[in-house]
Amino acid sequence: MNNYITRFLAAYEYNSFEEFVLSIFPTFKYHLQWLMLLISATSGTMNYFFGMKPALAFAMAVAVIIEVYTGIKASKKEGKKFESFKFSRCVIKIGIWLLILYIIHAFEKEYESRTNLIQMAAYAFFNFVYVVALTGFLVEYITSILENVAVLQNKPKTQIIEAIQGGWSNLINSIKPKKNEN
């Protein structure tokens, strides 16, 4: 049997069983198995508790990192020192967002596999609220990033946001039905 396995692996250019196993789990070849386990456990935890798939968790992490990075750069530009107190505010914000997402996701999961109409409606409602919360996260972090970018461009902190508000108002006004002036 061992000879058969060796010949089978050799047909696919594996010189040993160990080489075959390391091609399936290359993190072991580079001694990165703990990193792989950490990433896997983190993504599994994010999905289970917060309802986030890895791509969403990664996107949210990127938004947080960009917000922190641009915030630090903007603070330096304004002559403010980096303080752990201000960084702890960032951690609190992340914690609050995760708590909000956890609570909504917990209610959503409670009604996930239900069959009666009321419970299906509850699932749809909490699913909708979850999407609204994720959109809120996105809008809040983009707003903060845009404030930081304005500071980095030597503009008032609110200039980019006010330009977006003006564009939004113009859009809404252009699609609003006109009142008869009779």
Segment 171-181, tens digit of pLDDT: 888 888 877 65
Return the half-sphere exposure (C-beta side, CA atoms, 13 A cut-off) of residue 60. Answer: 22
pLDDT digits (tens, 9 = 90+) for 3-32: 888 888 888 888 888 888 888 888 888 888
- Residue range 89-104: average pLDDT? 92
Mean pLDDT of 153-176: 87
pLDDT at 136: 92
pLDDT value, residue 181: 57
The DSSP code sequence of 76-134 is: HHTTPPP-HHHHHHHHHHHHHHHHHHHHHHHHHHHTTT--SHHHHHHHHHHHHHHHHHH
Q: Which value, to the nearest 10 degrees, does the dihedral of the CA atoms of residues 135, 50, 145, 39 take?
A: -140
Task: Give pLDDT, residue 182.
Answer: 55
Residues 70/152, Cβ–Cβ less than 8 Å: yes
Measured N-to-C along each axis, helices 84-110 and 33-50 cross at an angle, to the nearest 10 degrees, of 60
| pLDDT at residue 138, as a whole number | 92
The span from the CA of 146 to the CA of 96, in Å, is: 21
> Is this structure's pTM higher than 0.85?
no
Q: Which residues of 129-147 are buried (b: 16+ CB within 10 A; e: fewer)?
A: bbeebbeebeeebeebbbb
What integer pLDDT is reported at residue 64 of this predicted model? 93
- At 28-54, the pLDDT tens digits run 888 888 888 888 888 888 888 888 888
Give the C-alpha separation, 73 to 120, whole Å. 47
Question: What mean pLDDT is predicted for residues 154-164?
Answer: 88
d(CA 40, CA 26): 15
What mean pLDDT do residues 66-84 have? 87
pLDDT of residue 130: 93
Q: Looking at the predicted structure, is the pLDDT value of residue 2 above 80?
A: no
Q: Where are the domains of the chain?
A: 52-161
Q: How confident is the model at residue 81 (pLDDT cuts 50, 70, 90)?
A: confident
- CA dist., res. 168 & res. 139, Å (int): 14
